[in-house]
Amino acid sequence: MTAAPSEAANAAAKAQLLAALPRLRAFALSFCGHPDQADDLVQETLVKAWANLGSFEPGSNMPGWLYTILRNEFYSRLRKRRHEVDDPDGMIAARVATAPAQEAHLHFQDFRRALFRLPPDQREALMLVGANGISYEEAAALCNCAVGTMKSRVNRARNRLAEMLSMQGPGHFQADRAWATVPAVGSVAGTAAV
Chain residues in the site for another protein (CB under 8 A): 1, 3-5, 7, 10-11, 14, 17-18, 21-23, 25-26, 29-30, 39, 42-43, 46-47, 50-51, 92-93, 96, 98, 108, 111-112, 115, 126-127, 130-132, 136, 148-149, 151-152, 154-156, 158-159, 161-162, 167-171, 173, 176, 193-194
| Distance in Å, CB of 60 to another protein, minimum | 20
Say if residue 95 is exposed, middle or buried (CB neighbours under 10 Å; 0-12, 13-18, 19+).
exposed
Judged by beta carbon, residue 96 or residue 180, the one nearer another protein is 96
Judged by beta carbon, residue 19 or residue 82, the one nearer another protein is 19
Residue 146: other Cβ atoms inside 10 A: 11
CA distance 5 to 76: 29
| Distance in Å, CB of 127 to another protein, minimum | 6
CA atoms within 13 Å, Cβ hemisphere of 36: 1
| 153: amino acid identity, one letter | R
CA distance 109 to 131: 16
